[in-house]
């Protein structure tokens, strides 16, 4: 199935404006694993006939990893340029599959002049279900054990714990919690720009610890809601040699699969 | 001659109170060495936050047993302090159990409840001590807890045992004296706990009891004054600072980090030179980020003084949990230690800081610790009194990167990539929409 991915520029040429802008993020655009999440989400957007557009080549890093690495200057350069682009198109509403982009756009752009309604894709999917355009039934996931790994920048940072869990429960799956969950959720190890560097020396990698917790739940699937978490958790499962038994999937992929998209 | 004890008591009180006041002013001065930050917004929200977190101890509940024991000691100390009012007035006026005639039978209920609370505090303190020294709960034995922090933690518990014991012994001897119809010692109070101490003083002559009662009475009030002044040197300062600390804590989502407005002006000048007034605030910051306590905000310095080293932050920290050097608790302890060092420097040099060739970065906190942080906010979320170690880590990273270009090489590559092609990886921005066609 060919994806329909309009850009803001192409819509503007036709004199149109989308209801919402899908902020794809760098991982979602370039990382092979994360691209699958991006496509799964777009399939749902197409399926529900959501009026959306992406920035395409006009999108640039939000600046989150630069800021967390200590480069406030580079962060603000990125932010101000992105705000200029978004405002040029008169964007008011943004949805993103990356909690880091979500947090930065939602919380740190306003002080630099960028004011938008920003939603994480789990919140957005929930709203699609609520308004009736998206129906979710268990399908392949019916009766499966699924545990949810809270992304720090969705959970603790923004107190969004229920939206992804509500979606998982729509799959008629059995949602099981890890020993650290919600506000006590353990980081996957990628935040604060750690994704882009080796960890400092220690006893073990953080994702090994977190996936141990996930494996303790004896789940069939580890659900995530962040491209970086997905990568870290996938690697952690491989470290424990459980990749044949346990799959790591983004909530958008679960929903898309359940609907045979 | 008969007013001598009153006089001595007054001196003791002025001395104890005076030193305490000096300590508080010193702490205030040191905290004010930090940078300004406006935390006077949303006052009603702030009051609510303080009442909920500090007074209501809303964040203690994650460890129910510790929360329960802590509540006993907390309530115990607050309520037993009502008794302190009577003790102080008795000391100044030369009276004995001044409130007894005024309160009638309610006085007996009051004293009885103080005694029960004192017993409960003793039991709670025993459990606290056992958790540290017998069960050896891991967070109390991490690397940064060696030496003074360990002694300090135990000493606080011993202080509380001694004070509670003196209070009960005072009541026991008083009760024995009361039974012998000594004029000054009116029959007052009900002693459900200290009556079990009577065998200790069985068969003592009245003269001995009179002396013992005075010793216990004086030692109790003197002990409280000593404890009050011990706070300045101790992690126990949290009993006071938890209140302002929660009042001034940030109210925005944990994920929202401070956006530096000085830098904004610089960036605006670069991006939009035509539309930006050069240095409209006239402020080009002398330094980006933080390398010493002077560069931190005063709220961050107050955080350091408020920390009671419970270690919940380090227990929750993913880096610490996996054996990295970073410990958020140590970040707070180091900040306080350095601030104290700076304070002593000021004291020794008539209030003018004499450069000492030291700073918070490197001399206390290493770059390795700072780079191990995942900015996951677990330490911030778990702190029972809203301390924010993460903000200090981020400010110090900012100094390392913006002042010293001292980021790990891989992060430099990441930042170069963002600068050159708008993504943390070396992909061309022209390929951003490739995924749609794959």
Indicate if B295 and B223 belong to the same structural domain.
no
Q: What is the residue extent of each domain of chain A?
A: 8-129, 136-258
- List CB contacts of A115: < 8 A, sequence separation 6 or more: A109
**ipTM metric:** 0.96
For the residues A29-39, what does the mean pLDDT come to? 98
Give residue for tokens 């209070």. B167
Please check whether residue B112 touches A, CB under 8 A: no
For the residues A6-28, what does the mean pLDDT come to? 97
Indicate if B360 and B413 belong to the same structural domain.
yes
Is B136 inside any structural domain?
Answer: yes
Mutation choice for B interface testing from A40, A71, A204 by most B CBs within 10 A: A71
What is the count of structural domains for chain B?
Answer: 2
Q: Are A184 and B382 inside 8 Å of each other by CB?
A: yes
Is B91 inside any structural domain?
Answer: yes
Structure tokens of B111? 């004293």
Is B42 inside any structural domain?
Answer: no
- List CB contacts of A79: < 8 A, sequence separation 6 or more: A62, A63, A104, A108, A109, A112, A114
Q: How far is B404 from chain A (nearest CA, A)?
A: 11
Structure tokens of B155? 């000493």
- CA pair distance B420, B6, nearest whole angstrom: 78
- pLDDT digits 0-9 by tens, A81-101: 999 999 999 999 999 999 999
Please check whether residue B275 touches A, CB under 8 A: no
Alpha-carbon A250 to chain mean position: 7
Confirm whether A8-129 and A136-258 share one CATH topology: yes
Residue B302's domain comprises 287-421
Please check whether residue A115 touches B, CB under 8 A: no
Long-range pairs for B34-39: beta carbons < 8 A, 24 or more residues apart: B34/B293, B34/B294, B34/B296, B34/B297, B34/B298, B34/B299, B34/B300, B34/B301, B34/B302, B35/B294, B35/B295, B35/B296, B35/B297, B35/B298, B36/B297, B36/B298, B37/B297, B37/B298, B37/B299, B39/B248, B39/B299
Structure tokens of B255? 């994920």
Q: How far is A109 from chain B (nearest CA, A)?
A: 9
Q: Are A199 and B401 inside 8 Å of each other by CB?
A: no
Indicate if B111 and B240 belong to the same structural domain.
yes
Indicate if B198 and B332 belong to the same structural domain.
no
* Count of CA atoms in the C-beta half-sphere (13 A) of A152: 26
Residue B343 sits in a domain of what CATH number? Answer: 1.10.1060
Instruction: Annotate A58-88 with b (16+ C-beta within 10 A) or e (fewer).
Output: bbbbbbbbbbbbbbbbbbbbbbbbbbeebee
Mutation choice for A interface testing from B322, B426, B434 by most A CBs within 10 A: B322
Please check whether residue B425 touches A, CB under 8 A: yes
- CA pair distance B346, B227, nearest whole angstrom: 25
Q: How far is B146 from chain A (nearest CA, A)?
A: 20
DSSP 8-state symbol, B297: B
Indicate if B294 and B400 belong to the same structural domain.
yes
- 438 residues of chain B, pLDDT tens digit each: 478 999 999 999 999 999 999 999 999 999 999 999 989 999 999 999 999 999 999 999 999 999 999 999 999 888 888 889 999 999 999 999 999 999 999 999 999 999 999 999 999 999 999 999 999 999 999 999 999 999 999 999 999 999 999 999 999 999 999 999 898 899 998 999 999 999 999 899 999 999 999 999 999 999 999 999 999 999 999 999 999 999 999 999 999 999 988 888 889 888 888 877 765 555 666 899 999 999 999 999 999 999 999 999 999 999 999 999 999 999 999 999 999 999 999 999 999 999 999 999 999 999 999 999 999 999 999 999 999 999 999 999 999 999 999 999 999 999 999 999 999 999 999 999 999 998
Q: How far is A184 from chain B (nearest CA, A)?
A: 7
For the residues A57-63, what does the mean pLDDT come to? 98
Please check whether residue B288 touches A, CB under 8 A: yes
- From B267, B400, B266, B389, select the one nearest B326 (Cα to Cα): B389
Cβ neighbours around A136 below 10 Å, total:
20
Please check whether residue A9 touches B, CB under 8 A: no
Is B266 inside any structural domain?
Answer: no
Mutation choice for B interface testing from A58, A73, A81, A207 by most B CBs within 10 A: A73
Query: A8-129, which class in CATH?
Result: alpha beta
Is B308 inside any structural domain?
Answer: yes
Is B380 inside any structural domain?
Answer: yes
DSSP A193-238: TGGGSPPPSSSS-HHHHHHHHHHHTT-SEEEESSHHHHHHHHHHHH
- The pLDDT score that the predictor gives to residue B419 is 96
Indicate if B241 and B330 belong to the same structural domain.
no
| Nearest-CB residue to A156 (from B62, B376, B399) | B376
| The domain boundary residue, chosen from B194, B217, B247 | B247
- List Cα–Cα distances, B377 to A192, B57, B258, B386, in angstroms: 10, 20, 14, 11
Q: Are A210 and B410 inside 8 Å of each other by CB?
A: no
- CA pair distance B231, B338, nearest whole angstrom: 18
Please check whether residue B408 touches A, CB under 8 A: yes
- From A164, A168, A160, select the one nearest A136 (Cα to Cα): A168
Indicate if B213 and B297 belong to the same structural domain.
no
Indicate if B303 and B210 belong to the same structural domain.
no
Is B37 inside any structural domain?
Answer: no
Q: How far is A7 from chain B (nearest CA, A)?
A: 9
Is B125 inside any structural domain?
Answer: yes
- CA pair distance B342, B324, nearest whole angstrom: 29
- CA pair distance B149, B234, nearest whole angstrom: 8
**Residue A121, pLDDT above cutoff 60:** yes
| Nearest-CB residue to A157 (from B377, B397, B399) | B377
Which CATH number fits the domain A136-258, given the four candidates 3.40.50, 3.55.50, 1.10.1740, 3.20.170? 3.40.50
């Amino acid at each position: 199935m060919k994806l329909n991915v309009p850009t803001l520029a192409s819509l503007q040429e036709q004199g149109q404006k989308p209801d919402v802008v899908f902020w794809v993020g760098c991982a979602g655009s370039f990382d092979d694993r994360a691209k699958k999440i991006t496509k799964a989400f777009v399939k749902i957007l197409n399926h529900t006939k959501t009026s959306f557009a992406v920035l395409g080549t006009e999108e640039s890093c939000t600046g989150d990893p630069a800021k967390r690495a200590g480069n406030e200057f580079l962060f603000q350069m990125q932010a101000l340029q992105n705000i200029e682009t978004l405002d040029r198109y008169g964007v008011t509403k943004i949805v993103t599959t990356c909690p880091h982009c979500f947090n930065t756009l939602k919380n740190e752009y306003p002080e630099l002049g960028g004011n938008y309604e920003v939603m994480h894709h789990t919140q957005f999917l929930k709203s699609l279900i609520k308004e009736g355009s998206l129906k979710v039934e268990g399908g392949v996931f019916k009766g499966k054990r699924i545990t949810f790994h809270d992304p720090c920048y969705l959970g603790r940072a923004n107190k969004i714990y229920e939206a992804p869990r509500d979606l998982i429960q729509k799959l008629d799956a059995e949602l099981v919690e890890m020993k650290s969950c919600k506000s006590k959720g353990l980081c996957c190890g990628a935040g604060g720009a750690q994704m882009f560097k080796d960890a400092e020396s220690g006893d073990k990698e953080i994702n090994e610890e977190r996936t141990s917790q996930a494996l303790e739940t004896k789940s069939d699937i580890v659900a995530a809601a962040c491209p970086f978490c997905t990568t870290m958790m996938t690697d952690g499962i491989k470290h424990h040699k459980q990749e044949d038994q346990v799959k790591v999937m983004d909530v958008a992929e679960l929903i898309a699969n359940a609907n045979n998209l | 001659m008969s007013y001598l004890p009153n006089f001595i008591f007054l001196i003791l009180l002025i001395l104890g109170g005076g030193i305490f006041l000096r300590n508080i002013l010193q702490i205030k001065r040191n905290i004010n060495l930090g940078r300004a930050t406006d935390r006077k917004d949303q006052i009603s929200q702030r009051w609510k936050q303080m009442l909920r977190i500090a007074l209501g101890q809303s964040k203690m509940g994650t460890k129910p047993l510790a929360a329960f024991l802590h509540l006993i000691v907390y309530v115990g100390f607050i309520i037993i302090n009502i008794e302190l009012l009577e003790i102080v007035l008795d000391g100044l006026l030369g009276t004995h159990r001044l409130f007894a005639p005024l309160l009638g039978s309610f006085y007996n209920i009051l004293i009885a409840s103080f005694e029960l609370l004192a017993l409960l505090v003793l039991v709670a303190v025993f459990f606290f001590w056992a958790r540290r020294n017998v069960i050896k709960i891991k967070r109390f034995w991490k690397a940064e807890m060696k030496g003074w922090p360990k002694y300090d933690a135990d000493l606080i518990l011993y202080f509380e045992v001694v004070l509670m014991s003196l209070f009960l012994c005072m009541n026991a001897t008083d009760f024995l004296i009361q039974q012998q119809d000594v004029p000054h010692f009116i029959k007052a109070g009900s002693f459900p706990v200290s009556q079990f101490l009577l065998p200790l003083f069985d068969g003592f002559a009245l003269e001995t009891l009179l002396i013992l009662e005075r010793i216990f009475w004086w030692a109790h009030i003197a002990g409280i004054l000593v404890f009050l002044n011990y706070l300045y040197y101790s992690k126990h300062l949290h009993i006071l600072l938890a209140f302002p600390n929660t009042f001034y804590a940030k109210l925005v989502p944990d994920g929202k980090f401070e956006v530096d407005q000085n830098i904004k002006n610089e960036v605006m000048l670069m991006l939009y030179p035509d539309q930006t007034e050069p240095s409209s605030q006239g402020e080009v910051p002398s330094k980006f980020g933080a390398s010493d306590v002077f560069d931190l905000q005063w709220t961050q310095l107050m955080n350091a003084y408020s920390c009671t080293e419970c270690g919940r932050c380090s227990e929750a920290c993913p880096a610490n949990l996996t054996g990295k050097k970073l410990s958020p608790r140590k970040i707070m302890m180091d900040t306080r230690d350095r601030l104290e060092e700076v304070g002593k420097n000021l004291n020794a040099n008539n209030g003018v800081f004499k450069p000492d060739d030291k700073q918070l970065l490197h001399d206390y906190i290493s770059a390795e610790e700072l780079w191990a942080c995942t900015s996951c906010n677990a330490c911030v979320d778990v702190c029972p009194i809203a301390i924010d170690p993460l903000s200090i880590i981020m400010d110090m990273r900012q100094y390392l990167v913006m002042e010293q270009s001292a980021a790990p090489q891989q992060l430099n590559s990441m930042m170069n990539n963002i600068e050159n092609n708008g993504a943390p990886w070396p992909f061309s921005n022209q390929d951003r929409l490739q995924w749609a066609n794959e």
